[in-house]
């Protein structure tokens, strides 16, 4: 279902002016429909396969590695790294790199969070929205996956996740991991990062996927993913509780597509359903045989269908 693999026709680094260098790349047709792809995590970075979600003849797609991850520098940095810094980076890239008034915004998982935050702040610059695996970054969502809930479905992986944390700290696993991920001891940081990353990578698909379980196996990838993700979660995404669903009315008038796996354990379907109710104009697809990953067949089919449908608009 994916389009053929392609290479960027242009790439560079954006100097944010506050200590970060953001890697960006442009792919597809320079005269095509403008779009931006937002990766998950936060802290995952983009992969070449993400370029293949868009028809390269009809789209001009900007992909970026958000602050502190992927090819951006400084690696795994938490300084000046908030949702609103990332929204500002997107605006700089839209104006300074693409030079367009509006673009399609595509994001999955944490990318859906960032896509909604951006679109609610800059609706005039969004032509369409495609979001997948909806993550509202609310306290209940974080508690479900990192404290109580998903553990009932994956007790084996959960046991490995809690193993490094002493019993007297397990009442707040996010805080316990934060302590270790920001430790002055690089060995402790990496140990915590690997364990944190394995928990998510082991629960991301409906059926076990060895490939997904190795998503953040490399030391560098695990450290950025775990440190940045945990930093955002400790700080509630730097948003007010429930902000993205509360402010979904700001999306009215923007064409949109919501794709959600029914058996998504990382970001359960309730949030996607609530977004659907708050933004009824968007097309809503609840995939009956999918978990969280973008490339599970039913989810991927709807994402490609969405990018194809908006290509001519």
pLDDT tens figures, 19-47: 999 999 999 999 999 999 999 999 999 99
Binning pLDDT at 50, 70 and 90, where does residue 207 land?
A: confident
109 flagged as catalytic: yes
Shared domain check, 134 and 263: yes
Range of 282's domain? 10-138+239-310
Q: Binning pLDDT at 50, 70 and 90, where does residue 6 land?
A: very high
Q: Is 292 a catalytic residue?
A: yes
Residue 312 confidence (pLDDT):
87
Q: Are residues 164 and 222 in the same domain?
A: yes
Q: Establish if 292 belongs to a structural domain.
A: yes
Q: What is the strand order of the sheet 59-64 is part of?
A: 10-15, 21-28, 59-64, 33-38, 103-108, 126-132, 256-261, 283-287
pLDDT band at 210 (very low <50, low <70, confident <90, very high): confident
Mark whether 96 is an active-site residue. Answer: no
Residue 215 lies in a domain: yes
**145 and 210 together in one domain:** yes
Q: Is residue 27 part of a domain?
A: yes
- Of 44, 72, 109, 202, the catalytic one is 109
Q: Is residue 18 part of a domain?
A: yes
Q: Do 102 and 24 belong together in one domain?
A: yes
Does residue 252 share a domain with residue 223?
no
| Active-site position among 20, 212, 276, 292 | 292
Per-residue b or e along 278-288, where b marks 16 or more CB atoms closer than 10 Å to that residue's CB: bbeebebbbbe
Examine the fold and report which residue of 198, 218, 237 is the final residue of a domain before the chain moves on.
237
Query: Residue 85's pLDDT is what?
Result: 98
Q: Tell whether 29 and 131 lie within a shared domain.
A: yes
Burial of 110 (0-12, 13-18, 19+ CB in 10 A): buried
CATH classification of the domain holding 258: 3.40.50.1820
pTM of the full structure: 0.97
| 203 in a structural domain | yes
Same-domain status, 97 and 17: yes
Is residue 83 a contact partner of residue 238, using CB atoms and an 8 Å limit?
A: yes
4 located within any domain: no
Question: Minimal CA–CA distance to 64: which of 14, 16, 112?
Answer: 14
- Give me the chain's average pLDDT, please: 96
DSSP string, 198-249: HHHHTSSSSS--HHHHTTT-SHHHHHHHHHHHHHHHHTGGGS-TTHHHHTGG
Q: What is the pLDDT of residues 162-173, one digit of tens each?
A: 999 999 999 999
Q: Does 151 reside within a domain? A: yes
Model pLDDT, residue 206: 86
pLDDT for 213-272, tens place per residue?
A: 676 879 999 999 999 999 999 999 999 999 999 999 999 999 999 999 999 999 999 999
What percentage of the chain reaches a pLDDT higher than 90?
95
Looking at the structure of the chain, the number of domains it has is 2
| Predicted local distance difference test score (pLDDT) of residue 59 | 98
Shared domain check, 104 and 31: yes
Domain-located, residue 3: no
Last residue in a domain, options 220, 237, 254: 237
Residues 47 and 187 in one domain: no
Q: Which of 65, 264, 276, 285 is catalytic?
A: 264
Question: What pLDDT, on a 0 to 100 scale, did the predictor assign at position 123?
Answer: 98
Judgement on whether residues 133 and 144 belong to the same structural domain of the protein: no
Mean pLDDT to the nearest integer, 210-214:
74
pLDDT of residue 272: 98
Q: Based on the domain organization, do 227 and 206 belong to the same domain?
A: yes
Same domain, 51 and 121: yes
Which of 237, 267, 291 finishes a domain? 237
Cα(224)–Cα(45) distance, integer angstroms:
9
């Amino acid at each position: 279902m994916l389009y053929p693999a392609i290479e960027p026709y242009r790439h560079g680094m954006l100097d944010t002016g506050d200590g970060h260098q953001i890697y960006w790349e442009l792919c597809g047709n320079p005269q095509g429909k403008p779009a931006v792809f937002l990766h998950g995590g936060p802290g995952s970075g983009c992969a070449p396969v993400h370029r293949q979600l868009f028809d390269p003849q009809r789209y001009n797609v900007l992909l970026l590695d958000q602050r502190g991850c992927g090819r951006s520098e400084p690696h795994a940095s938490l300084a000046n790294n908030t949702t609103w810094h990332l929204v500002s980076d997107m605006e700089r890239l839209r104006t300074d790199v693409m030079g367009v008034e509006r673009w399609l915004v595509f994001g999955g998982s944490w990318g859906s969070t960032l896509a909604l935050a951006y679109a609610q702040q800059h609706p005039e610059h969004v032509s369409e929205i495609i979001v997948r695996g909806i993550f509202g970054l609310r306290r209940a969502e974080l508690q479900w996956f990192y404290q109580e809930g998903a553990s009932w479905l994956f007790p084996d992986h959960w046991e490995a996740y809690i193993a490094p944390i002493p019993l007297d700290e397990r009442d707040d696993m996010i805080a316990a991991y934060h302590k270790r991920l920001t430790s002055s001891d690089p060995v402790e940081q990496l140990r915590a990062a690997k364990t944190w990353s394995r928990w998510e990578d082991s629960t991301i698909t409906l059926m076990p996927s060895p490939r997904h379980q190795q998503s953040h196996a490399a030391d560098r990838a695990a450290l950025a993913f775990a440190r940045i993700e945990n930093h955002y979660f400790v700080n509630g995404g730097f948003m007010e509780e429930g902000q993205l669903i509360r402010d979904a009315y700001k999306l009215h008038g923007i064409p949109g597509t919501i794709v959600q796996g029914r058996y998504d354990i990382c970001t359960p379907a309730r949030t996607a359903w609530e977004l659907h109710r708050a933004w009824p104009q968007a097309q809503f697809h609840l995939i009956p045989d999918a978990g969280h990953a973008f490339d599970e067949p039913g989810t991927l089919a709807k994402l490609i269908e969405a990018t194809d449908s908006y290509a001519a608009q």
